[in-house]
């Protein structure tokens, strides 16, 4: 069914990197979500009123919030697909995150409302009128939501959409919520236990948790999250695969939307290479990564000593000192400045985020002390950095 809908409503669906195609995917999932959730809301609300069940009505309004979420997501994807302009040179892709954040507030609001209604029902229990048609419709609702979850997850993974993945997780949560409602109705049929309010309470908690998770996931790229390990390895491996590039460091990725990514990286080249040759290689890498990965990459070229055995020997000794003191630390931009009575070893030191300012200073003193022990002329000039990679 998923592939059938995509082939009908998404033109050139294979070209997922195309912003227009991506927008079409988002429009499809939004419309499908609105239609399914509105139908579920109307059906469940009518049944909930007929049998006087707060858990069923809470579940119905949860579906209404899902329809509103799909509408907001649809608008967000449409706005995110707008091209770049002079005010927004990196496009409008972050509208997708803003839309998902708005969706999270709608979900939380519904969760709070359901919580209040359920708590009131616990204090003043009312009888739930059982009907088998209710159980059948709720079971069908579970199947619809399960399909919606798979539908959104599959398309979300296809175009790497955080909004669709969040919607898929929300739909899967609804499967659990509706299943809880079914249990409540069945228990009311075969026992005298008044648990409808308690089940409604469970439903509201599920809704609140779903809203919180979506809010958290969509805030991270807006606040500037660290680059994921997979993206980090894809970019660095690509850069280091070119002849003349002997290493890289300090990769920073700026996310302006799922299809609007800018990154900077330091590429290490031999210090004796022809400058124009190295520059031509750097330009080619930037063009290739933009074409193949859709990432606007800016590369800073770092010259590295590769022939002077004295410098390489000193670098190896310093690296071993640091590894003995902190195995998770790393160095780059190592260079030597020789003097008559002092040899400066200048480099950048990357330490884990777990280090406080005090622990950083303590590590610096230990490193300097150990380096001076190798040769009293050695003086370390160190700049502390943190990694930009998500652990």
- How would you classify residue 380: left for phi > 0, otherwise alpha for psi between -120 and 50, otherwise beta? beta
Whether 188 contacts 128, CB under 8 Å: yes
Whether 114 contacts 207, CB under 8 Å: yes
Residue 126 pLDDT: 66
Write down the residue that tokens 């380096």 correspond to. Answer: 371
Distance CA 211, CA 101 (A): 9
Residue 160 pLDDT: 74
Distance CA 338, CA 354 (A): 34
The DSSP letter of residue 191 is: S
CATH superfamily placement of domain 309-386: Cation efflux protein, cytoplasmic domain (3.30.70.1350)
What is the full DSSP assignment across 192-242? ----HHHHHHHHHHHHHHHHHHHHHHHHHHHHTPPBPHHHHHHHHHHHHTS
Residue 63 pLDDT: 81
Q: Tell me the CA distances in angstroms from 134 to 80, 129, 288, 355, one per residue in order.
A: 40, 10, 58, 57
Distance CA 62, CA 66 (A): 6
Residue 128 pLDDT: 61
Residue 76 pLDDT: 79
- Where in the chain are all domains bearing CATH 1.20.1510.10? 2-223
Residue 348 pLDDT: 93
Q: How many CB atoms lie within 10 A of CB 165?
A: 18
- Domain 2-223 bears CATH identifier 1.10.3470.10: no
Question: Hey, which residues does 249 pair with through a beta bridge?
Answer: 266
Residue 55 pLDDT: 63
Q: How many CB atoms lie within 10 A of CB 374?
A: 14
Residue 62 pLDDT: 73
For 106, the token pair is 């709608």
- Where in the chain are all domains bearing CATH 3.30.70.1350? 229-304, 309-386
Q: How many CB atoms lie within 10 A of CB 194?
A: 16
Residue 127 pLDDT: 63
Question: Hey, which residues does 304 pair with through a beta bridge?
Answer: 270
Residue 98 pLDDT: 83
Residue 129 pLDDT: 64
Distance CA 273, CA 259 (A): 35
Q: Tell me the CA distances in angstroms from 43 to 57, 66, 138, one per residue in order.
A: 10, 15, 9
Whether 22 contacts 155, CB under 8 Å: no
Please provide the CATH number assigned to the domain covering 229-304. Answer: 3.30.70.1350
Q: Which residues of the chain have pLDDT under 70?
A: 55, 126-130, 162, 391
Beta strand pairing call for 295-304 and 261-270 = parallel
Residue 107 pLDDT: 75
């Amino acid at each position: 069914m998923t592939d059938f809908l995509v082939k009908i409503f998404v033109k050139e669906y294979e070209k997922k990197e195309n912003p227009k195609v991506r927008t079409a995917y988002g429009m499809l999932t939004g419309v499908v979500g609105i239609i399914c959730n509105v139908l579920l809301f109307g059906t469940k609300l009518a049944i909930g009123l007929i049998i006087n069940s707060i858990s069923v009505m809470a579940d119905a309004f949860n579906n209404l919030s899902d329809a509103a979420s799909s509408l907001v997501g649809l608008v967000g994807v449409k706005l995110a697909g707008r091209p770049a302009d002079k005010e927004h040179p990196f496009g409008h892709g972050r509208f997708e995150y803003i839309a998902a954040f708005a969706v999270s507030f709608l979900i939380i609001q519904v969760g709070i409302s359901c919580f209040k209604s359920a708590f009131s029902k616990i204090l003043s229990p009312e009888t739930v009128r059982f009907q088998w048609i209710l159980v059948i419709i709720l079971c069908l609702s579970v199947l619809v939501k399960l399909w919606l979850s798979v539908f959104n997850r599959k398309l979300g993974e296809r175009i790497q959409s955080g909004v669709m993945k969040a919607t898929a997780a929300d739909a899967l949560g609804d499967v659990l919520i509706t299943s809880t409602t079914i249990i409540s109705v069945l228990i009311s049929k075969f026992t005298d236990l008044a648990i409808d309010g308690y089940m409604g309470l469970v439903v509201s908690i599920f809704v609140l948790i779903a809203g919180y998770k979506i809010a958290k996931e969509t805030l991270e790229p807006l606040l500037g999250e660290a680059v994921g390990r997979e993206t980090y390895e894809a970019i660095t491996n690509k850069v280091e695969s070119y002849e003349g590039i002997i290493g890289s460091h300090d990769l920073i990725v700026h996310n302006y939307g799922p299809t609007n990514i800018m990154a900077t990286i330091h590429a290490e080249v031999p210090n004796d290479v022809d400058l124009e040759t190295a520059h031509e290689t750097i330009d080619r890498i930037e063009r290739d990564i933009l074409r193949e990965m859709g990432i606007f990459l800016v590369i800073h070229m770092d010259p590295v000593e590769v022939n002077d055995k004295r410098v390489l020997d000193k670098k190896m000794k310093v690296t071993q000192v640091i590894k003995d003191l902190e195995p998770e630390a790393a160095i780059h931009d190592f260079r030597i400045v020789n003097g008559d009575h002092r040899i400066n070893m200048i480099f950048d030191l990357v330490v884990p985020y777990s280090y406080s300012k005090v622990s950083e200073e303590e590590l610096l003193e230990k490193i300097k002390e150990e380096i001076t022990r190798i040769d009293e002329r050695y003086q370390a000039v160190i700049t502390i950095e943190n990694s930009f990679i998500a652990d």
